[in-house]
């Protein structure tokens, strides 16, 4: 896809969105290691809050008329350049704009416990079965790694696996919202 394109690394680029998606749960786990009122607990909760704002304002992309499905930029700061340029397991020269978006269907962002993320997973769960253009974007150039047939892309988007994860993510965010009300 990007053959012949010269490398153009960005100095000080932020973390890639497909990997940072686990951070919300890590920060929750770190915070919960401390008792309520402990400054370290508050510290980790504050980082999680900033991650939530960063994700919602810079990396999460709403469906629109040209691509009526949820997407994420390839990098958490909103930069959407090539991800995994000439990576060993990437079939092609790298992931183009939004092609790391499939990671959001794994549900990890639900641990941010925010309304925008709850809306994301509600809408995503309702979108199954996904349209071909959404699946093509979410898979990107795919990987050459051997995987369990249940999670192999693109099949995981049509065999119920990613749909189940998206529904569970929505249920988890919905339940947390209910717990806050009660």
Q: Where are the domains of the chain?
A: 17-181
pLDDT interval class at 8 (50, 70, 90)? confident
Question: pTM for the complete prediction?
Answer: 0.89
pLDDT(21) > 90: yes
Q: What is the mean pLDDT of residues 92-117?
A: 92
CA atoms of 48 and 88, how far apart (whole Å): 32
- Does the structure show a pLDDT above 90 at 126? yes
Question: What integer pLDDT is reported at residue 88 of this predicted model?
Answer: 80
Predicted local confidence at residue 142, as pLDDT? 85
3-state DSSP percent of the chain in helix, strand and coil, to 5? 50, 5, 45
């Amino acid at each position: 896809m990007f053959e012949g394109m010269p490398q153009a690394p960005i100095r000080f680029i932020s973390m890639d969105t497909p990997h940072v998606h686990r951070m919300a749960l890590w920060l929750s786990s770190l915070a919960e290691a401390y008792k309520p009122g402990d400054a370290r607990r508050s510290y980790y909760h504050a980082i999680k809050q900033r991650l939530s704002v960063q994700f919602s304002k810079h990396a999460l992309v709403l469906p629109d008329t040209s691509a009526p499905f949820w997407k994420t930029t390839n990098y958490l700061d909103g930069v959407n350049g090539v991800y995994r340029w000439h990576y060993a397991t990437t079939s092609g020269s790298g992931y183009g704009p939004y092609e790391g978006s499939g990671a959001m269907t794994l549900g990890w962002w639900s641990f941010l416990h925010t309304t925008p993320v709850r809306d994301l997973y509600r809408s995503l769960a309702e979108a199954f079965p996904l349209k071909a253009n959404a699946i093509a974007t979410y898979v990107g150039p795919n990987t050459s790694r051997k995987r369990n047939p249940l999670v192999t892309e693109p099949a995981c988007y049509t065999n119920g696996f990613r749909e189940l994860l998206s529904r569970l993510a929505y249920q988890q965010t919905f339940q947390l919202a209910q717990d806050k009300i009660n």
